[in-house]
């Protein structure tokens, strides 16, 4: 019993000693980490205090800047003609190549002419018969008139002769009209294109009997000029009116704006056009305002229902302030830049940004002429930090603010210009 109690007492002493040792080691380790961190902070403080930060700056210089606006647009034929058969009969032959460009007056379809030619011949014979009857009535009237004047014939005989003459004359005119109608129907058997444009596929095949329900044969779409339609939202229009009223945006050529077309590969279409139509009211379903431009398209490069971008020109921002996008930073309270004070120190300046312009950004508020704005080196600055100005790096930036660029690309409103 004494031996067991002694062993328990020894175990307690050893456990207490072991815990004390672990505690000492932990304290030593924490002290070492604290010494290393303190040493690093001191070195960093020394490095920061070694000299002013090197930055490149630009001087703010307001200037009149031409601007353009880009919109997602869709092409439309300026005149799309549905080709119908005007008479009922059998379709004899299609004589054009489907999808090809046709000239005005070019024959597209031929109907079976034989029934219509028979009608023409019948009405021509009827006209001849009526002319013969008319000639007989005329001669009878010429003989009756002198005899009636001499009282050799009664007045009734003269009236009957006059009535037969006038009736025969009317019958001749009726026969002429019927013959002209028959000739017109015969001419409708040759179906030609009324405009120069591109054709669609034939909707009826050779040998089909054509009547009212299936009288449409094809369509011809005019390609030059071609229409380019784009839409402005209510917010776009409100912002445009506000900027115009505040003289932040002016029209350099009145409402007669030039419009360029940017193709899907980014190239600019060689022909420009003008805005020719604006919808008088908003679309109740989309809340947008339709605008149309007319573009020359002599080679037929643009086709109907093609998606392009419309670049509207002839705008200017008077005395606008532009600074590079990489000079602008964003914090919890919005966008800001670093400006250099007269004492050569950095000062944080809140700003309000506008639209993009190439690699620059319009500034609507926060900067004035003569301000020196930090372009490169602003990420390491803090308020009151001394700076050293170095030449600006003219190389294009490798990246921009991803969220702002993505938001600008997704907008259907005025987009980035200068591209």
pLDDT tens-place string over residues 334-388: 999 999 999 999 999 999 998 888 899 999 899 999 999 999 998 889 899 999 9
List, in sequence order, every residue forming a beta bridge with 93; answer none if it has no partner.
Answer: 110
State how far the Cα of 88 lies from the Cα of 217, in Å rounded to an integer.
12
Mean pLDDT, the chain, as a whole number? 84
Q: Are 175 and 130 within 8 A, CB to CB?
A: yes
* pLDDT at residue 125, rounded to an integer: 97
* pLDDT at residue 10, rounded to an integer: 36
Q: Which residues have C-beta within 8 Å of that of residue 138, sequence separation ≥ 6?
A: 165, 168
* pLDDT at residue 391, rounded to an integer: 84
Mean pLDDT of 210-218: 95
Picking from 21-30, 123-132, 315-324, which range would have the lowest pLDDT averaged per residue? Answer: 21-30
Question: Which of residues 192 and 406 earns the better pLDDT score?
Answer: 192
How would residue 394 be classed by pLDDT, with cut points 50, 70 and 90? low
Q: Are 349 and 410 within 8 A, CB to CB?
A: no
What are the phi and psi torsion angles at 193 (to 5°)?
A: -85, 130
Nearest one of 78, 77, 80, 68 to 310, comparing CA atoms: 68
* pLDDT at residue 264, rounded to an integer: 94
Mean pLDDT of 94-111: 96
* pLDDT at residue 51, rounded to an integer: 76
Question: Which of residues 153 and 174 earns the better pLDDT score?
Answer: 174
* pLDDT at residue 302, rounded to an integer: 95
Residue pointed to by tokens 């000739």 = 183
Q: How is residue 380 annotated by DSSP?
A: G
Q: Are 168 and 136 within 8 A, CB to CB?
A: yes
**Domains present along the chain, CATH in parentheses:** 58-75+226-410 (2.40.30.170), 81-112+189-221 (2.40.50.100), 115-174 (1.10.287.470)
* pLDDT at residue 392, rounded to an integer: 79
Q: How many CB atoms lie within 10 A of CB 287?
A: 11
State how far the Cα of 412 lies from the Cα of 265, in Å rounded to an integer.
18
Nearest one of 116, 109, 113 to 193, comparing CA atoms: 109
How would residue 11 be classed by pLDDT, with cut points 50, 70 and 90? very low
* pLDDT at residue 52, rounded to an integer: 87
* pLDDT at residue 395, rounded to an integer: 54
User: End-to-end alpha-carbon separation of the chain, Å?
Assistant: 97
Question: Which of residues 374 and 394 earns the better pLDDT score?
Answer: 374
Sign of CA dihedral 392, 396, 399, 402: positive
Q: How confident is the model over 283-314, as pLDDT tens digits?
A: 888 889 999 999 999 999 999 999 999 999 99
* pLDDT at residue 67, rounded to an integer: 93
Q: What percentage of the chain carries pLDDT values higher than 90?
A: 67
State how far the Cα of 401 lies from the Cα of 73, in Å rounded to an integer.
27
Q: How confident is the model over 228-244, as pLDDT tens digits?
A: 999 999 888 898 999 89
State how far the Cα of 125 lies from the Cα of 182, in Å rounded to an integer.
12
* pLDDT at residue 335, rounded to an integer: 95
The token duo for 225 is 């000029």
List, in sequence order, every residue forming a beta bridge with 70; answer none if it has no partner.
Answer: 311
Picking from 79-88, 177-186, 387-396, which range would have the lowest pLDDT averaged per residue? Answer: 387-396
The token duo for 45 is 């403080």
Nearest one of 286, 240, 238, 235 to 69, comparing CA atoms: 240
Q: Are 80 and 221 within 8 A, CB to CB?
A: yes
Residues in the chain: 419
Q: Are 338 and 60 within 8 A, CB to CB?
A: no
* pLDDT at residue 181, rounded to an integer: 96
Residue 27 has pLDDT above 70, yes or no: no
**Chain-centre distance of CA 150, in angstroms?**
87
Mean pLDDT of 249-277: 93
Residue 48 has pLDDT above 50, yes or no: no
Residue 279 has pLDDT above 80, yes or no: yes
């Amino acid at each position: 019993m004494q031996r067991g109690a002694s062993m328990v007492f020894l175990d307690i002493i050893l456990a207490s000693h072991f815990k004390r040792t672990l505690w000492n080691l932990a304290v030593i380790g924490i002290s070492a980490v604290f010494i290393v961190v303190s040493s690093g902070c001191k070195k960093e403080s020394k490095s920061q205090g070694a000299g002013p930060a090197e930055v490149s700056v630009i001087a703010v210089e307001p200037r009149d800047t031409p601007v353009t606006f880009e919109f997602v647009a869709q092409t439309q034929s300026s005149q799309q003609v549905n080709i119908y058969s005007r008479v009922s009969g059998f379709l004899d032959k299609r004589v054009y190549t489907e999808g090809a460009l046709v000239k005005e007056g070019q024959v597209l379809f031929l109907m079976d002419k034989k029934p219509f030619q028979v009608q023409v011949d019948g009405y021509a014979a009827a006209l001849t018969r009526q002319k013969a009857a008319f000639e007989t009535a005329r001669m009878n009237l010429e003989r009756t008139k002198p005899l009636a004047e001499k009282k050799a014939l009664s007045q009734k005989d003269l009236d009957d002769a006059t009535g037969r003459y006038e009736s025969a004359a009317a019958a001749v005119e009726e026969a002429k009209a019927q013959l002209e109608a028959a000739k017109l129907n015969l001419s409708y058997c040759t179906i030609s294109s009324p405009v120069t444009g591109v054709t669609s596929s034939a909707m009826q095949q050779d040998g089909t009997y054509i009547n009212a329900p299936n009288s449409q044969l094809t369509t011809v779409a005019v390609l030059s000029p071609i229409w380019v339609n784009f839409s402005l939202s209510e917010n776009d229009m409100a912002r445009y009116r506000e900027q115009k009223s505040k003289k932040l945006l002016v029209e350099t050529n009145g409402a007669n704006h030039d419009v360029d077309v940017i193709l899907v590969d980014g190239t600019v279409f060689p022909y420009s056009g003008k805005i020719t139509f604006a919808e008088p009211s908003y679309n109740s379903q989309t809340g947008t305002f339709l605008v149309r431009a007319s573009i020359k398209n002599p080679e037929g490069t643009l086709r109907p229902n093609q998606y392009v971008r419309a670049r509207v020109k002839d705008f200017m921002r008077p005395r606008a302030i532009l600074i590079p996008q990489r000079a602008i930073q964003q914090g919890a309270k919005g966008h800001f830049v670093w400006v250099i004070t007269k004492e050569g120190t950095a000062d944080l300046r809140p700003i309000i940004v506008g639209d993009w312009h190439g690699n620059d950004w319009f500034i609507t508020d926060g900067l004035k002429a003569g301000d020196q704005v930090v372009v490169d080196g602003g990420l390491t600055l803090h308020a009151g930090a001394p700076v050293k100005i170095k030449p600006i790096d003219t190389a294009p930036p490798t990246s921009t603010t991803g969220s702002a660029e993505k938001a600008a690309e997704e907008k259907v409103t005025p987009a980035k210009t200068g591209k």
